[in-house]
A and B are shown apart, each in its own frame.
Chain A
């Protein structure tokens, strides 16, 4: 099956590309997209916020010298395409360049067993009611439960003046649950999500379990004491713990930061950046994963890229533009939130490969430390490498044992130091879903790992 076509045909695309290069330019591209989404939520045991959206539009890009000219419009009518093309080419003053004839590239979109738009909305509402009941059933201290369901289908067609004509058809389904537990003045929240680049079949196997898991997290935190403050060993949990690697290392591998010297990894290709026990990948082809696509948003097939090999920095993550600058092949990481955005290097599914240490043994070797199971999110300054993470579920480790839950902890550090300080990688493994924000663009990404241990790291808590 070819995912190309459907939105704009090759003839219309060729017209756009020819017109885009009429006043010069080294490269032109048109990206057309149709987005159909449906979301609903349950809160206070009531179905609410039912919303559907249908958008179409295109972005036209012309590269000339070192400058990118970009224009986007809502709508795919010939007049809309003409407007975007004229605006993208408006500032160019050179002689005409000719695009190469388009050649359709066959792509293999992720197979979808059950199209979510074919499932009645009532069924989705029922599912949320089930989550509500399951979450509340965890105990009388669960004061609130909210959950949401979202589906989105993105059909994309991309054509460029190098003759590429390709498409993709992407369907993602995601379920989220959030619980609030209350005991006297203590209020804690717990959250859990389930998502994939798959159809409604994702929800075949007891999806409501995530509501129970979210509720249990909130209940556990009711017993939490203050988080410790200071430097100590930190064991990071599998799955969502991978957000740490995503933030502290992944972003620094994105070639735009690297080429501007705004990454701590600039000039470090081939160098040892971690202990030899650590290898990591970015893989946009993992079947059904949240960060997976058949092609990136420039039409480059996605791939599995080894970024850290036995502790050595092996590759950066590239889109077309940055790959050309470095004289390497693009790695299929040119992604955009929608037709309203320029493609930039982004992660897909990024993970630390499983190691050899059992998680229990990793914890047993810690005298006094912190166990960060999951994060509320995090942020990194790629230029300095400074990062910070909010811990949503964390525990104290005392004498090799996990003793009590802690509230309000933050992990803070510098990514070069923290990556080099990883001294154990677990033999377990799990992938989780998230949305990653960069330059005002949000894209779905997968994060994964088993347990890891960081030899020493600053934990910011309230217990000085």
Chain B
């Protein structure tokens, strides 16, 4: 496949580009949706295509396509060069330089290929059964889903970048439905691994069931300002927002609450955050990023201070530094852009019960909705819908729903009083590993 990428890059040079880079990928995936003890749908997916960046002077253009025959490659390459001609000159634009040799990484799990479709379908069904067996109040499962993918990626450029890797991943999740007290509640359970052999269907089903039944009879909390515990899933969503705001692109364009705060105190010392594209347990690990720059570990917030932003090649040149290997790329259909790889919030020392005891009287948030609409990405001010449990006398008490929590990202980071001891990988907000967090004070709006 690297050869295909090289041919596409060469075609762009032939079309008049000064420099060119091609990113080729092939993804083979499956998805199984189960409901009511039956396989509802079974999907086999093959995707392959190429994306070409062409530079003419300080101007970069992009084109992608699925036609990988010679004529197709030539058309994509020509479209990329054509796109470059429309763009305005930018002194910082240019092809990434080849980095050092990336470390060898084993990112493929043989069980993705070894497990038949019937076997992974059984796994999805087992997730549903586990939820139903957990509690008689589980009325059903909206859907139990398993999906996996095996990816091959190759990247080549006229500047000498040449790399290739393979990776696999899978996920199973469900949305359990609980009934009681004349109401209905949903609960999410999920698991992530590089292959189906790494998933525990019983644990996934049980988590969804427990989250749903815990919410039966939920009422609204009284509006007030109080300590708030965010569970790992919710903390991950917020960490994802913070990771996005730490991207140099948002910062340089003045669209981040962290702009001009390098070296400043932006968080309580209880919170430490880093990005690590090489983390062996990280779902989004890879030897190099979406433009071929080697991945690495980057400390973002240490001892409460902001250490650095995340950079791709363009923002690094603009900021006068080096890329941190954070050019993200969803597929050949998108051009690289600054993004987190695996974002890691450092665990603290308190167990979950100790966190609740430390909170005393407050709210434990187990779900948030409206993160995309309820957060001002520029100022970091947010107000999002939430549900969870009351904390009374340092213990979990009655379930709560239909309330909002409001603050701003920096104030929230500064108010972190403690981090839990046990972290978990969560696929929301990117790929994030985080323990539960105790926030000293936040506005809760209910009745």
A413 at the interface (CB under 8 A from B): yes
- Asked whether, in the complex, the Cβ of A50 is within 8 Å of the Cβ of B62, the reply is yes
With CB as the reference atom, state the residue of chain B lying closest to A260: B142
Interface of A is mostly: strand
A172 at the interface (CB under 8 A from B): no
- Asked whether, in the complex, the Cβ of B381 is within 8 Å of the Cβ of A53, the reply is no
A68 at the interface (CB under 8 A from B): yes
B224 at the interface (CB under 8 A from A): yes
Contacts of B43 in A (CB 8 A): 70-72, 342
- Asked whether, in the complex, the Cβ of A67 is within 8 Å of the Cβ of B41, the reply is yes
Once A47-B88, A189-B376, A231-B447 are accepted as A-B contacts, the answer to whether A52 and B42 lie under 8 Å apart by CB is no
Contact residues on B (Cβ < 8 Å of other chain), bracket: 35 or more
- Complex: A260 Cα to B144 Cα, angstroms: 13
- Asked whether, in the complex, the Cβ of B46 is within 8 Å of the Cβ of A74, the reply is yes
B51-93 vs A, Cβ < 8 Å mask (1 yes, 0 no): 0000000000111111100000001100110111011101000
CB distance from B440 to the nearest CB of A (A): 16
B254 at the interface (CB under 8 A from A): yes
- Asked whether, in the complex, the Cβ of A50 is within 8 Å of the Cβ of B61, the reply is yes
- Asked whether, in the complex, the Cβ of B374 is within 8 Å of the Cβ of A410, the reply is yes
CB distance from B254 to the nearest CB of A (A): 6
With CB as the reference atom, state the residue of chain A lying closest to B405: A460
- Asked whether, in the complex, the Cβ of B117 is within 8 Å of the Cβ of A91, the reply is yes
B97 at the interface (CB under 8 A from A): no
Residue from A384, A409, A412 within 8 A of B185 (CB atoms) = A384
Residue from A48, A91, A375, A383 within 8 A of B118 (CB atoms) = A91
Residue from A46, A54, A407, A462 within 8 A of B79 (CB atoms) = A54
Chain-B contact segment, one of A21-29, A283-291, A386-394: A386-394
- Asked whether, in the complex, the Cβ of B385 is within 8 Å of the Cβ of A460, the reply is yes
- Asked whether, in the complex, the Cβ of A408 is within 8 Å of the Cβ of B224, the reply is no
Residue from A180, A188, A375, A384 within 8 A of B184 (CB atoms) = A384
A140 at the interface (CB under 8 A from B): no
- Asked whether, in the complex, the Cβ of A388 is within 8 Å of the Cβ of B369, the reply is yes
Within 8 A of A (CB), among B414-447: 443, 445-447
Within 8 A of B (CB), among A61-102: 66-75, 83-84, 87-88, 90-91
- Complex: A50 Cα to B86 Cα, angstroms: 7
- Asked whether, in the complex, the Cβ of A50 is within 8 Å of the Cβ of B87, the reply is yes
Contacts of A461 in B (CB 8 A): 383, 406, 445
B335 at the interface (CB under 8 A from A): yes
With CB as the reference atom, state the residue of chain B lying closest to A144: B254
Residue from A70, A125, A262, A390 within 8 A of B44 (CB atoms) = A70
Chain-A contact segment, one of B161-169, B340-348, B352-360, B396-404: B396-404
- Asked whether, in the complex, the Cβ of B42 is within 8 Å of the Cβ of A70, the reply is yes
B140 at the interface (CB under 8 A from A): yes
- Complex: A186 Cα to B254 Cα, angstroms: 13
- Complex: A194 Cα to B254 Cα, angstroms: 26
Residue from B39, B376, B378, B406 within 8 A of A67 (CB atoms) = B39
- Complex: A70 Cα to B33 Cα, angstroms: 11
With CB as the reference atom, state the residue of chain A lying closest to B179: A261
A323 at the interface (CB under 8 A from B): no
A260-292 vs B, Cβ < 8 Å mask (1 yes, 0 no): 111000000000000000000000000000000
A458 at the interface (CB under 8 A from B): yes
B87-123 vs A, Cβ < 8 Å mask (1 yes, 0 no): 1101000000000000000000000000001100000
Within 8 A of B (CB), among A387-442: 387-390, 392, 407-410, 412-414
A and B contact pairs by CB, cutoff 8 A, 12 listed: A53-B333, A54-B66, A74-B49, A144-B255, A229-B404, A261-B139, A377-B372, A383-B177, A384-B184, A384-B185, A388-B384, A390-B373
Binding site for A on B (CB under 8 A): 35, 38-49, 61-67, 75-76, 79-80, 82-84, 86-88, 90, 117-118, 139-140, 142-143, 175, 177, 183-186, 220, 223-225, 253-255, 333, 335, 369-370, 372-379, 381-385, 387, 401-404, 406-407, 443, 445-447
Binding site for B on A (CB under 8 A): 40, 43-44, 46-57, 66-75, 83-84, 87-88, 90-91, 121-122, 125, 143-144, 180, 182, 186-189, 227, 229-231, 260-262, 340, 342, 375-379, 381, 383-384, 386-390, 392, 407-410, 412-414, 458-462, 464
Given A188-B378, A464-B225, 4 other A-B contacts at CB below 8 A?
A52-B63, A66-B40, A71-B44, A189-B376
